[in-house]
Structure 1
Amino acid sequence: MTNKIKPVSFVPRFFGAFGQFFKYMGSGDYAARCDTVGQGEQFAFEVEPKVITEEVEVIREIEVAAPVLDTVNADGAHQLLQLLQQEARFIDFIQESIDDYSDADVGAASRQIHAGCSKVLKQHFTIDVVSIDVVNTAAENSRVEVPSGYDAKQIKLEGRVVGDGPYAGTLIHPGWKVTETRLPKVTNTESLNILAPAEIEV
Structure 2
Amino acid sequence: MKYLFYGFLVLLCMSCNRAAFQSKWTTEQAPSTYIVRFETSKGSFDVKITREWSPLAADRFYQLIRHRVYDNALFYRVVPNFVAQFGSSDTAKIEKWMPYKIPDEAVVHPNQTGSLAFARSGKETRGREVFINLKDNPRLDTITYNGVKGFPAFGDVVSGMDVVSALYSGYGDKTMPRLGAMYRNRKRFIDTFPGLDVIHKVSILKN
Same-fold status (TM-score > 0.5): no
Please, what TM-score do these two structures have when normalized by structure 2? 0.20
Structure that is richer in strand per residue? 2
Instruction: Report 1 or 2 for greater relative contact order, CA contacts < 8 Å, sequence distance ≥ 6.
Output: 2
